Chain A
Amino acid sequence: MSEFLQQLLNGLSLGAIYALIALGYTMVYGVLRFINFAHSDVFMVGAFLGYYLGKLVPEHTIWGGLAVLAVSMIGCAILGMTIERLAYRPLRSAPTLNVLITAIGVSLLLEYTGQVFFGAAPRNFPSIFPVRNFSFGSVIVTSNQLIVIAVSVVLMIVLQLIVYRTKIGTAMRAVSLNPKAAALMGVNNDVVISFTFGLGSALAAAGGILYALNYPSIDPLMGVMPGLKAFVAAILGGIGNIPGAALGGLILGTVETFVSGSQWSTYKDAIAFAILIIIMLFRPAGLLGKFTVEKV
């Protein structure tokens, strides 16, 4: 039983990170109907920003950790908005395929620019937050897991409030339902799209730092696998659906953790994709998605 609880806890904290990344994929899909493949590299840049900023604050402090987190989130928000402005906006009326190929190009650009600046060798992420273990019976909860869960819960609540309670959030939903009608209401779609990239990228940065706290070896290609998993999570939940992305992330993280702890651990990555295929067969629109025919 305690073994199960331990794995569940580990799974949920991994899943929370996937969820943070998945939200960015799903929000951008919502407003632009394309998958931003460079998103996983923004996650990586978030971790590296955390790495460098972490050297500027004393280790093992809550305020230092939160400051690093906040500044990386702002940095990545700016990065995401810049990518959108320079790479995607000029292609606004181009076919989706062109935009997808551009996204792959931006992704490679970030990965290899990362190798030039950061070097290809893995680096050790500093422990910016205090580190302690709490044991409940035989279940061990690390402070990093608590931080992951607390930060993700807070960010998801904030995101929910932005999307459902603010003017720009309502505009985001309106643009994703019908960009032309939104424009007729006086919404500048470019501003909303830019804001969406900023928001998604900030969450990816938070994901990058939280991931690095638990898997402290970071390198410029570190985003590839978690990014792919988060992408699967977003599809699993129903692409374009915000609660779906969060749910998909949690499911994927939990399943992956349980598989890792079993005799099939070698197949843990394959399982993620097997789940995707199975869900897509039975619910093509994802768990919370509504099936709509893609307008071409």
Chain B
Amino acid sequence: MTHYLDFEKPLAEIEGKAEELRAMARENEEMDIEDEAAALDRKARELLQDLYTKLSPWRKCQVARHPDRPHCRDYVEALFTEFTALAGDRGFADDHAVMGGLARFDDMPVVVIGHEKGHDTQSRIHRNFGMARPEGYRKAVRLMEMADRFRLPVVTLIDTPGAYPGKGAEERGQSEAIARSTEKCLQIGVPLVSVVIGEGGSGGAVAFATANRVAMLEHSVYSVISPEGCASILWKDSEKMREAAEALRLTAQDLYGLGVCDRIIAEPLGGAHRDPQGTIASVGAAIAVMLKELSGKDGASLVEARRKKFLKIGSKGLAA
């Protein structure tokens, strides 16, 4: 069953009607509904086009969080071969919110790391909704070190509401773990490419996305704080998330304008969740291009380029 977002209600009605008609026709062979159903289909498509070509920043947040949106695991399964998960931070635990390991991308061995949100109640709880604890960042640091040692490119997939705000996470040094992960991203002498596939939530995202190339899916978002969090602090009203989403400039398009995002990957009409396979293929193509751009560069120049890129960010604001 399709999960409709609140702004997709009119679309749900039209698609529901078309489905109803077809169901009736299946039971009564004499009925000829095809013209009418086809007209509804056209109308639905037009509406979908209309809704998705002018998604507001808040609606983009909703699309980025859509439960049926392809998640890290889907990308890893479809785009990589021989994926071999490597677990644990060697200090405390394995964090299921972060998946990572060795795999091949176009036959080339790489290290892949990403946040995984889960796809149903059970797996979402298991994955802690994609909110990593210190162990997740420390596992990532360990894998990045391994990649550096064995000269393997690193691909990271970003999809997290943010680092987990929990008691144990704080006690075990959430801040330090994030800081070390960002630091490691800046140190490794191998290509590092990131794709924001859904939500790029604050420090939890930066810790993996301090990369040579950062691509974002068309309707993904990347922000210093969630619109709800920003609204409750600056507007003193968490219901003002639409205004906050607008003000924060968290869309892929704005981030491209600010030089934070290097490449926007187009999504199928109606968002990634309406055609997961098509979306995954586009992301795969973008990863291939980004890795190719960086191939043949030596470690020192990759590190230097990464540093320069981040030092330069913010030297221009958005056009008025």
Physical interaction between A and B: no
